[in-house]
Structure formats: C-alpha cells, structure tokens
C-alpha cells in the first residue's frame, strides 16, 4: 500500500496545538489521509478523586472546551477538521479505526498511570485488528534521548538536574505547524460537535475577570499571550522581580494553563525567549523563565522515574510516620477560604473564584495545610487537581510532594511562616483586601494578624470575628 492510500488517526490529548506537534507531523509524513480526533473521556471529566472531588472542575473543563474549539477551527483552515466524541478513547478510537480502515493511531505518549492505561488498552485492541499505535513526544523542553542520564537516574535534587542540563543540552527548535492543506478524505465522516459544559456535568457559567484576567483556552490565545508577555509589553525583562506578585495579570507569564493542555509548547517559549534575548534584552529575568521551565521538566522526569509513587501519601519515601488530622470540617475551612488567616483565605478564595492562584500563594496554602493544620497533603493536592485551570499531574503532585517533604529532594523542611510571607509579599495588604473586602477598613499593618486586634478597634473597623470574618483556626501569634 502506498503512502497516499493510507489513513492515519491523530489522537490529540494534552497537546491541543498545531505548532511543535510531533505526532501530527509524523502522521502527515506517513499517510495520505489524516483524521484528527479528540475524545472527551467521562472518567476524566466527570470522575471523582479518591476524596470525592470532581476530577476536572468547571474552570479547566471550560478551558479545554475552548481549546478544542480553537483546534477544530485551526484544522478547518487547513481543509481538515476534528472528529469529536464523548466516550472512552480506547473504545471510540477503536471503532473509528475499524470504520475508516486506518493503518495507525498517532499520539504524543503520556506517562502518568491513568493516561498510560488508556493508551495501552487502545494499543492492544489495535493490534487485534492489524493496526498500530505510533508514539511521539511533545511535553518537555528537553528530549529524554538528549539527556546525559537515563530517566531512572534523573537527579533527585533540582539544582543538580539543572546543572547537568542547562549548559550542555541544547533545547531543540520547535517543529513548524503544518502549512499545506490536508488531503481530502475519501471516506465520509460524521465529525461530531464540541460538547457544552452541561454535557460534561457542569453548569454553564460566564468566565469572570476577578483575577484581573479572563482565561481563554486554545493555541491562538496561547500564542497571543506569548506575544503579549514578551513582545508587546516587555514584561519578561522584569520577570525575576515581579514573579512573586499576587494580584493582576502581569506579574508572571500565566503560560501554565496553555502549557498544561499543550496549547503552547515549552520549546516555542524557549525559542521566542532566545529571539527576545538577541533582539531586545538578555538578563536574569529572561534566564529565570528558562529556569522555571526546567522545574516543569524536572517534575515530569520525577513522574517518569517514580511512577505512581508521586500520588501516594508517602510519595517517593518508603513510608512516612505522620498521624494526619482527619478533621474534615477543618479541611473545608481551608478549602473554602475560611480559616481566619487572611493571607490563606484570600488565596483560597481566588482559587475558588477563578481556578488560578499564584505560585507564592500555592506554596503558602500548601505548607499551611500540611505543616500547620496537619491535614493529609493528598487531599489538598486532589482539591488543587479539581480546581486548577492549569492542573498538570507531575507539576501538581511534584510540588505537593516537595512541600509535604515526601519528594525525593532531601530538603524536607519546606516550612512557610505565613505571617512573614504575608507581610513580605503583600505588605500593603492590597491582595488580602481585594479578596476579603469585609476587611477593607482594617489598617494594612493589622489586617494580616486580625485575630490579635483588640475588640474595641475591631468595632471601629466594623468587623466582628466569627460573624463578618471567621475566627482563626490557628492563632497568628504562632508565627510572631
């Protein structure tokens, strides 16, 4: 059979883009007819985590729907389209493969268990009908084949990993998006519609700009944000100084949701960064974006090296001897932003209202949950998994492992003094007052430790603790 008469399915998963998409280009090189596919898997969208949170909360579900709409439209501009179904990918793709008599299913390989189970099941059924899976790569900055160590020997300490790669391993150029029109299919296909939020178990909602920004999924928006952050606003040149900010759109790149769904390739960011350094400015901040993207690769490699361990309570350790506090009412106060510690509550309320929280906020609320409330970190990580618009299994669980002291990195004590963090990163209390408007009248120097403000002053500020704002679950004098 010659190439032109062969058909290839391209299964889009967490790689919702045309640029730097190895699986798509591999398929185009192998077959004359290409059938791009996206399957909404109800187990991922409507399933529950171990602690009962919806696996994909409404913010991410909406973002993914928008990303799929954008991908479909970009494919249509090339004379192609996107075949869409709700169902189990291993069943939907098998029946499509049988129907159109394709030769292969191409996809970018996933490495975390749930995704691997699905791709393995599909591969087995394809073999039974004389077809094959073809795997490509596309998640990371570095190719594992280029690394100076095998995946299983990835250093456990980030600094060591970074030193072994940053100066010696070149980041490859991103692959170009296909520019030629796709060949006409010689089979008729019912492409199917993009589901709505209610189809995926969520009520419809209008995205708000409470976080200073309205997220929109898709490669087109991702490329716009890259242009905005580097070229239009030159924000990258001050990134190292601004990245610990808390309020608004511009303090950090906000690339994470697009990276998580693969609307944006890290190699594309790197390539633009290098151009920016040549044409405009090269400084600590431009380097620091590379540094943070290396953290992302590091956690992905740890996910490969340690497999399911990163999701377990003991993480990469053999065992842990912590007796967790099982108080679920206390957990609910943390999750809903009602702990009575303004810096924690503001961050959790932002997460609940927008699906996003800054890196500084994430570190603090995670440390507070584990180290101050002694609640099981896995439950906190699952709550993040449900809510985060940028949820990525390796980055989320890797960071939680790290903070809970169960990661491979031996520096166990990642303890955050919440009040000194609040005073340092929100010294004018603008962030706290933005998310907790009930505390607006409290002077900035008092608001972070509202639990120790005396009652006559509180009356003046029109705040009654326990009524207008919760009593603190942990006295802030702990951090004095």
Ligand X SMILES: Cc1cc2nc3c(=O)[nH]c(=O)nc-3n(C[C@H](O)[C@H](O)[C@H](O)COP(=O)(O)OP(=O)(O)OC[C@H]3O[C@@H](n4cnc5c(N)ncnc54)[C@H](O)[C@@H]3O)c2cc1C
Return residues touching ligand X (CB under 6 A).
243, 252-256, 259-260, 289, 292-293, 295-296, 299, 358-359, 362-363, 366, 384, 388, 390-392, 395-396, 399-400, 403
H/E segment holding residue 208: none
Site of tokens 């010659």: 2
DSSP line for 409-428: SS-------HHHHHHHHSTT
CB of 72 to ligand X, least distance (A): 24
For residue 282, give every residue at least 6 positions away whose Cβ sits within 8 Å of its Cβ, in sequence order, or none. Answer: none
Backbone angle region of 192, left / alpha / beta, with phi > 0 → left and psi within -120 to 50 → alpha: left
142 vs 400, beta carbon nearer ligand X: 400
CB of 391 to ligand X, least distance (A): 4
256 vs 376, beta carbon nearer ligand X: 256
**Where are any strands of DSSP class E within 26-172?**
33-40, 83-86, 104-108, 132-136
182 vs 251, beta carbon nearer ligand X: 251
CB of 230 to ligand X, least distance (A): 11
CB of 294 to ligand X, least distance (A): 9
Are 81 and 188 in contact by the 8 Å Cβ rule? The answer is: no
103 vs 108, beta carbon nearer ligand X: 108
Enter the DSSP assignment of 178: P
H/E segment holding residue 364: helix 359-367
CB of 203 to ligand X, least distance (A): 24
CB of 263 to ligand X, least distance (A): 12
DSSP line for 263-303: SS-HHHHHHHHHHHHHHT--SHHHHHHHHHHHHHHHHHHHH
Nearest to 290 by CA among 327, 210, 236, 217: 236
CB of 406 to ligand X, least distance (A): 13
CB of 150 to ligand X, least distance (A): 22
230 vs 472, beta carbon nearer ligand X: 230
36 vs 407, beta carbon nearer ligand X: 407
Enter the DSSP assignment of 407: S
Q: What is the Cα–Cα distance from 116 to 307, expressed in whole angstroms?
A: 11
| Alpha helices (H) in 129-167, listed in sequence order | 158-165
17 vs 362, beta carbon nearer ligand X: 362
CB of 350 to ligand X, least distance (A): 12
Burial 126-161 (b: 16+ CB within 10 A, else e): beeeebebbbbebbbbbebeebeeeeeebbbebeeb
Burial class (CB in 10 A: 0-12, 13-18, 19+), 177: middle
Q: What is the Cα–Cα distance from 289 to 84, expressed in whole angstroms?
A: 35
CB of 152 to ligand X, least distance (A): 21
């Amino acid at each position: 059979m010659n190439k032109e008469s062969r058909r290839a399915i391209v299964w889009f998963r967490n790689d919702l883009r045309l640029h730097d998409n190895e699986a798509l280009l591999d398929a185009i090189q192998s077959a004359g007819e290409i059938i791009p596919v996206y399957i909404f898997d109800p187990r991922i969208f409507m399933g529950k985590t171990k602690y009962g949170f919806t696996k994909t909360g409404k913010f991410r579900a909406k973002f993914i729907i928008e990303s799929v709409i954008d991908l479909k439209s970009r494919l249509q501009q090339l004379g192609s389209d996107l075949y869409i179904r709700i169902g189990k990918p291993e069943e939907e793709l098998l029946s499509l493969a049988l129907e159109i008599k394709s030769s292969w299913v191409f996809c970018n390989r996933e490495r975390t268990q749930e995704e691997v189970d699905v791709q393995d099941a599909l591969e087995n059924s394809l073999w039974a009908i004389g077809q094959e899976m073809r795997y490509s790569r596309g998640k990371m900055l570095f190719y594992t084949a280029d690394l100076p160590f095998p995946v299983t020997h990835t250093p456990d300490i980030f600094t060591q990993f970074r030193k072994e790669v940053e100066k010696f391993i070149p980041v490859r150029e991103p692959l170009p998006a296909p520019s030629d029109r796709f060949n006409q299919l010689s089979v008729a296909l019912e492409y199917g519609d993009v589901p709505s939020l209610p189809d995926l178990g969520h009520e419809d909602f209008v995205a708000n700009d409470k976080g200073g920004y309205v997220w929109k999924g898709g490669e087109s928006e991702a490329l716009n944000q890259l242009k905005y952050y580097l070229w239009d606003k030159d924000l990258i040149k001050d990134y190292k100084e601004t990245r610990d900010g808390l309020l608004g759109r511009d303090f950090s790149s906000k690339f994470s949701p697009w990276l998580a769904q693969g609307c944006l390739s890290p190699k594309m960011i790197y390539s633009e960064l290098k151009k920016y350094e040549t044409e405009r400015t090269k400084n600590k901040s431009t380097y620091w974006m590379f540094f943070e993207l290396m953290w992302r690769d590091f956690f992905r490699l740890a996910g490969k090296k340690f497999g399911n361990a990163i999701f377990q309570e003991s993480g990469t350790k053999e065992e842990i001897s912590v007796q967790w506090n099982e108080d679920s009412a206390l957990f609910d106060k943390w999750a809903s932003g009602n702990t009575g510690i303004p810096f924690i509550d503001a961050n959790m309320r932002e997460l609940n209202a927008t699906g996003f929280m800054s890196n500084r906020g994430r570190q603090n609320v995670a440390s507070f949950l584990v180290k101050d409330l002694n609640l099981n970190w896995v439950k906190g990580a699952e709550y993040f998994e449900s809510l985060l618009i940028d949820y990525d299994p390796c980055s989320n669980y890797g960071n939680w492992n790290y903070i809970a002291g169960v990661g491979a990195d031996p520096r166990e004590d990642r303890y955050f003094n919440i009040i000194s963090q609040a005073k340092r990163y929100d010294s004018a209390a603008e962030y706290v007052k933005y998310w907790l408007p009930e505390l607006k009248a409290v002077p900035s120097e008092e608001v972070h430790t509202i639990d120790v403000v005396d009652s006559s002053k509180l009356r003046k500020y029109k705040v009654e603790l326990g009524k207008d704002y919760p009593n603190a679950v942990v006295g802030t004098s702990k951090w004095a």
